């Protein structure tokens, strides 16, 4: 009988432990290998542009080059002129506002605030030429800058403050003969430097992404898949997939991880379950600004200090500007852990002229909507850029100041250093009132983090969120999360019950032992 019992026990043990410790057999990652095969195929262009006679004829202006493009690609300019890259504006439906046109014309940010009145300088990143005056739509298709996106020679560059025209030194013929599918550098030259310097705005898009190491971006690294921007941000008729919620409002035409990886890419089912509420980026981008610092805060209120009547700049040890007379003080950070928010793909924006009555808490320049209870929401990582920026306390509006001018006396802050004048001129140009009073308010801007994806070995582990101390999701309190959350009443009550039980057992045992000794003694004495 004993043997049977022991055998049974052993069998039970073996079965349970083997089930528990049996590692799941590694599923073949067919999806990943298929994707790798697909994207390792080199793109072979169907034509060699250097063989076209029209591109060998000397171009006297950038418009000549564009005209040459259009002479063959006869309809493409129409597509471009309908695109966001050209119009800097989208028709959006925003809850509470209805149909609105949101773009650089009326939406602002908390970096250089806005383009209105500053076009000459901002046009360096417009895909057109001749953006001289306020943003009247350019109607001449030869003002499209085809080359800035399609140059594959990496010699094209826009000039400084030339209203979008290329630098004088660029050999337009050479560039036109070497056009092709956009490379990382074509997109990066604008998108990596938004806000006036490398990695100022995004945090996850910066110059290291031209040739990132596998640690920086597992997709775009030449060491791995070597993807270019347009591999994910595909386009149809020059409309690119994907947009950033500094300007976009609607949940449409997004570029997603799922478009390649599906919604359930993990071997472990428990991880696939997470994708219902957690965006891929949340776990797979543990830190952003991996190589170079990104700007975390901008205080405009300190701008305007001069040394010996001259503007100056200060830098930190990494060469980041910490103070500029023209812009104020900055805070930078690198290898930043993102903040996390619920996001359902829709956003609202502060639009020029919006009145804000409550300035006790920071004004949200863009509001990303979402909550746990919202079925469309997922947790996403964001960079929150905080600022103090000019505000009219009487009219209760954020001020669009006039910043740039090439001449003194036009009211531009960056040359005249007079806040009140810059505010007046700037607000005049956007046809908004200015009371003559200027204050500085705190603002926040939310930048979803989508790039700098880490290898799967470097993704977040469970206990970076599922933990009592320093959970990455400590700020999201509208739901119960195992390990992070508990009921303090149950926790304390449970501890008390267990301690009382232990005490009771110990006291009971103690009395038992001591009375037993006594009775033994008594027996002994009797003898």
Partner 1 sequence: MKYKVYIYKAFERFWHWTQAILIFMLAATGFEIHGSFTFFGYQNAVKYHNVSAYAFIVLIVFAIFWHFSTGEWKQYLPTASNLKAQINYYIFGIFKNAPHPTKKTVLSKLNPLQKLVYLGLKILVIPVMVISGLLYMFYRYPQKDAVESINIGSLEVVAIVHTIGALLLIAFIITHLYLITTGETVTSNLKAMITGYEELEDEKSSKEN
Residues in a beta bridge with 329: 299, 323
Stretch that binds partner 1, among 70-78, 182-190, 291-299, 509-517 (CB under 8 A): 509-517
Q: To the nearest whole angstrom, how small is the minimum distance from the Cβ of residue 90 to partner 1?
A: 24
**Are the beta carbons of 335 and 377 closer than 8 angstroms?**
no
- Counting other chains too, the contacts that 168-171 makes at CB distance below 8 Å and 24 or more residues apart are none
| Contact window for partner 1 (CB under 8 A) among 124-132, 188-196, 284-292, 508-516 | 508-516
Per DSSP, the three-state class of 317 is: coil
* 521 makes contact with partner 1 (CB under 8 A): no
Question: For residues 293 and 199, is the Cβ–Cβ distance under 8 A?
Answer: yes
| Binding residue (CB under 8 A) for partner 1 from 267, 483, 517, 521 | 483
Give least dist CB 271 to partner 1, A. Answer: 8
Say how far apart CA 115 and CA 401 lie, in whole Å.
10
For residue 12, the minimal CB distance to partner 1 (Å) is: 5
CB of 376 to partner 1, least distance (A): 5
For position 477 contacting partner 1 by CB under 8 A, the verdict is: no
Q: Please, what is the minimum distance in Å from the beta carbon of residue 476 to partner 1?
A: 13
Site pattern 267..306 for partner 1 (x: CB under 8 A): -x-x-----xx-----------------------------
Which stretch in 44-52, 207-215, 426-434, 491-499 sits in contact with partner 1 by CB under 8 A?
A: 491-499
The least distance separating partner 1 from the CB of residue 525, rounded to whole angstroms, comes to 16
User: Which of 202, 237, 227 shows the shortest CA–CA distance to 81?
Assistant: 237
Restricted to residues 31-60, the positions that interact with partner 1 (CB under 8 A) are none
Q: Sign of the CA dihedral 235, 236, 242, 248?
A: positive
Tell me: does residue 494 bind partner 1 (CB under 8 A).
Answer: yes
Per the CB < 8 A criterion, the answer to whether 340 and 476 are in contact is: yes
| Least spacing, CB of residue 458 vs partner 1, in Å | 16
Distance CA 140, CA 144 (A): 8
What is the contact mask toward partner 1 in residues 355 to 384, using x (rule: CB under 8 A)? Answer: -----------------xxxxx--------
Whole-angstrom CA distances from 330 to 240, 293, 333, 457, 476 are 32, 12, 10, 34, 27
Number of Cβ within 10 Å of residue 184's Cβ equals: 21
Nearest residue (CB) to partner 1, 436 versus 494: 494
Angle at 386 between CA 382 and CA 391, to 5 degrees: 135
Backbone angles phi, psi at 294, to 5 degrees: -125, 155
Number of residues that bind partner 1 (CB under 8 A): 53
Q: Please pick, from the candidates 153, 467, 473, 474, the single residue that binds partner 1 as defined by CB under 8 A.
A: 467
Per-residue binder mask for partner 1 (CB under 8 A), 2-31, x = binder: x-xx--xx--xx-xx--xx-----------
* Residue 251 binding partner 1, by CB under 8 A: no
Q: Select the residue interacting with partner 1 from 14, 72, 394, 509 (CB under 8 A).
A: 509
Q: Up-side HSE of residue 155: CA atoms within 13 Å toward CB?
A: 13
Select the residue interacting with partner 1 from 318, 456, 511, 521 (CB under 8 A): 511
Which CB, 183 or 481, lies closer to partner 1? 481
Distance CA 293, CA 288 (A): 9
Cα gap 444→121, rounded to integer Å: 24
* Residue in 149, 300, 307, 168 with CA at minimum distance from that of residue 228: 149
Q: Which two tokens stand for residue 37?
A: 């095969």
Nearer to partner 1, 394 or 513 (CB): 513
Helices (H), ranges, 223-267: 229-232, 258-261
Per the structure block, which two tokens stand in for 403?
Answer: 């910043």
The answer to the question of residue 462 lying near partner 1 (CB under 8 A) is yes
Q: Using CB under 8 A as the criterion, what x/- string covers residues 204-243 for binding partner 1?
A: ----------------------------------------
Burial class (CB in 10 A: 0-12, 13-18, 19+), 327: buried
Centre a 10 Å sphere on the Cβ of residue 4 and count the other Cβ atoms it contains.
8
- State the residue for tokens 């933990």: 467
Residues numbered 252 to 271 that lie near partner 1 (CB under 8 A) are: 268, 270
Which residues would be at the binding site for partner 1 (CB under 8 A)? Answer: 1-2, 4-5, 8-9, 12-13, 15-16, 19-20, 268, 270, 276-277, 372-376, 461-463, 466-468, 479-487, 490-491, 493-494, 497-498, 501-502, 504-505, 508-509, 511-512, 515-516, 519
């Amino acid at each position: 009988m004993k043997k049977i019992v022991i055998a049974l026990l052993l069998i039970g043990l073996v079965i349970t432990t083997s089930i528990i410790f049996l590692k799941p057999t590694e599923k073949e990652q067919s999806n990943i290998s298929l994707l790798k095969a697909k994207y390792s195929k080199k793109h072979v262009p169907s034509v060699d542009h250097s063989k076209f006679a029209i591109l060998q004829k000397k171009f006297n202006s950038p418009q000549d080059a564009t005209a040459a493009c259009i002479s063959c690609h006869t309809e493409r300019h129409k597509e471009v002129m309908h695109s966001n890259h050209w119009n800097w504006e989208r028709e959006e439906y925003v809850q509470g506002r209805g149909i609105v046109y949101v773009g650089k014309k009326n939406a602002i940010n908390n970096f250089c605030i806005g383009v209105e009145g500053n076009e000459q300088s901002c046009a360096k990143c417009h895909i057109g030429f001749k953006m001289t005056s306020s943003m009247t739509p350019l109607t001449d298709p030869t003002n499209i800058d085809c080359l800035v996106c399609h140059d594959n020679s990496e010699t094209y560059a826009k000039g400084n403050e030339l209203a979008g025209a290329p630098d004088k030194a660029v050999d337009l013929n050479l560039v036109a003969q070497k056009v092709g599918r956009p490379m990382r550098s074509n997109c990066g030259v604008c998108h990596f430097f938004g806000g006036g310097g490398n990695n100022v705005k995004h945090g996850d898009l910066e110059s290291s992404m031209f040739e990132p190491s596998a640690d920086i971006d597992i997709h775009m690294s030449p060491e791995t898949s070597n993807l270019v921007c347009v591999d994910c941000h595909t386009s149809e008729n020059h409309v690119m997939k994907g947009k950033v919620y500094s300007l976009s409002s609607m949940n449409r035409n997004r570029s997603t991880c799922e478009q390649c990886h599906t919604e359930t890419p993990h071997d472990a089912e428990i991880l696939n379950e997470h994708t219902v509420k957690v965006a891929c980026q949340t776990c797979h981008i543990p830190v952003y600004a991996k190589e170079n610092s990104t700007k975390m805060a901008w205080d405009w209120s300190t701008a305007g200090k001069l040394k010996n009547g001259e503007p100056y700049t200060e830098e930190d040890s990494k060469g980041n500007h910490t103070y500029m007379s023209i812009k104020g003080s900055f805070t930078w950070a690198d290898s930043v852990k993102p903040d996390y928010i619920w996001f359902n793909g829709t956003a609202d924006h502060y639009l020029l002229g919006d009145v804000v009555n409550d300035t006790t808490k920071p004004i949200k320049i863009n509001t990303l909507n979402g909550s746990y209870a919202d079925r469309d929401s997922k947790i996403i990582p964001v960079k929150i850029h905080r600022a103090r920026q000019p505000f009219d306390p009487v009219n209760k509006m954020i001020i669009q100041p006039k910043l740039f001018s090439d001449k003194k006396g036009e009211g531009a802050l960056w040359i005249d250093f007079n806040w009140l004048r810059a505010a007046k001129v700037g607000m005049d140009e956007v046809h908004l009132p200015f009371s003559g009073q200027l204050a500085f308010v705190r603002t926040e801007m939310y930048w979803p983090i989508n790039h700098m994806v880490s290898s799967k070995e470097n993704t977040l582990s469970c206990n970076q969120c599922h933990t009592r101390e320093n959970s990455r999701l400590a700020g999201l309190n509208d739901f119960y999360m195992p390990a992070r959350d508990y009921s303090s009443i149950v926790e304390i009550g449970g501890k008390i019950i267990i301690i009382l039980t232990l005490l009771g057992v110990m006291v009971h045992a103690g009395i038992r032992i001591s009375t037993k000794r006594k009775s033994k003694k008594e027996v002994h004495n009797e003898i």
